[in-house]
Structure 1
Amino acid sequence: MRVLVAGATGAMGTELVPRLVDAGHEVFAMVRSESSRARASQLGAVPVVADALDRAQVEAAVRQTAPEVIVNQLTAIGHIDTRRFARSFAATDRLRTEGTDNLLAAARATGVRRFVAQSNGAFAYTRTGGPVKTEQDPLDRSPVAEMASMIAAVEHLEKAVLGATWVEGIVLRYGAFYGPGTSMAPGSQQLEMIRRRKFPIVGDGGGVWSFVHVADAAEATVAAVEKGGRGVYNIVDDDPAPVAEWLPELAAMLGAKKPLRVPRFVGRLAAGEAGVVLMTELRGASNAKAKRELGWHPKHPTWRRGLQVAS
């Protein structure tokens, strides 16, 4: 198939594009600048330059490449400062709203038949009820102020993609990425903070995280491109775990001392309300639907082994 990947040179795109090429697809990479052309070509894609926030440029790129499938991997997430969570996600929020709308409009104008989009299954689920959520569970209806804009952007993306009746809309709710190019890559700031005991457990550390190796997420995305059906899929590993469990184990993998523990009010001062939520109230996700319907099984089924290799 002819596949256009928007966001082709990010952490996910770098893993995804070569896999699509290896699977026999003709892959086009929508990149923002001329300087990204060479990188897209190295990955095996045919580059086309367009600013995702410019609707005319996006439509021109889609008309030029005439894809059967568009994969939206547009993000601009760098280091996440939990005290300024909204600021950390502001650029990505705009890509998830305006960028998605632009891609969908171009897809409609050119007759694209399938649209696959990156969503968030790591931070966005409702914080009530059981510790592990399925695709049927709602996103957070009462987020703390610093997380509200991020979750609103995720909801906008999902409603737009799933509500586009003229295309087969598929939403992939990825877990927390680790592996090459991610915030938990070897030598990353986040791992160094854990190594230096600057990443404490807040409160009871009861927030449940679902991880996924970025290569496994890419494999799942290929499966969605080839045989996904309209709807939402959690793309996470088999082993959701509370912070109080995974953080000390990761510290041990790094050869570090056990992380410090601080009460919620201290965590709020140091990491903001969003940081407290991530540490104490987050919910994990189930990958049963993706396994069943996409035939996908992560090669790194648990962060306990995957992070050990990645760290």
Structure 2
Amino acid sequence: MSWVFLRDLLSGVNKYSAGIGRIWVAVVFLFRLLLYVAAAENIWKHEHDEFECNIKQPGCENVCFDHFFPVSHIRFWALQLIMVSTPSLLVVFHVAYRQNREKHHNQKLYKNPGKIDGGLLCTYLISLILKIGLEIFFLVLFYKLYNGFKIPHLVKCDIKPCPNIVDCYISKPTEKMIFLYFLVATSCLCIVLNLSELSYLMFKYSIKCYLKRHVKKQQGSKSNCCESELISQREAESAKGAHATNRAQPPSLSVRSPSHFPFRKCLVYLVFNGMA
């Protein structure tokens, strides 16, 4: 397992995480990773050699150990730690994709490539869901493999090639039990933190989307009101202009055409000449 890789991964995720996400990184790095390296690995280091049964039948101890501990605790937790940290790579890869795309196009495509919004928000939410699912999966798997979250002092084995029921003893069971409870508690704490961050982000961006829609709706109604007011003002101005034009121009009936006067003069002249 590459601790440098895991450290770089967690530090990269911490850069793009929200407040609760940074707490999750601290819990994983301080409580789980350092505890695993400093203490748990040494406690379970010689678990197979220290597993003893009260019979020296060849192969009996190996078969009983494999039955009660099908997977080594230390390897199981190492696998769990790697798998739980892996979904965070989705966020790092998404940010790297954004930055690479900006370099390729030689222009600013995003306001902030590391800001959690849009597609990066969906990727971040998916990574949270995957981390929650993996944590629950490994807790259930541990419970099924080891018949609960306990380490007994004594186990009884009757699997062949053991000739009868054999008593087998586990070394340092109390110390192992304490570390087991602590690791299970930190795993549950990580689930709670991921659920809290998931709920917080969904609530936050739901409110944000609702406010954006409300503001757009208000702006649309205001623009419609302004347009209707402008149209009514234009209609009123055009009506006033038409009324003023009609008042300035005299009626057509009051205007006497000059072409009628010669005709009337001729008619009067003919009447008077006929009477003469």
Higher strand share: 1
Task: Give the shorter-chain TM-score range.
Answer: under 0.3
| TM-score between both structures, scaled by the size of structure 1 | 0.20
Structure with higher Rg: it is: 2
Higher helix share: 2
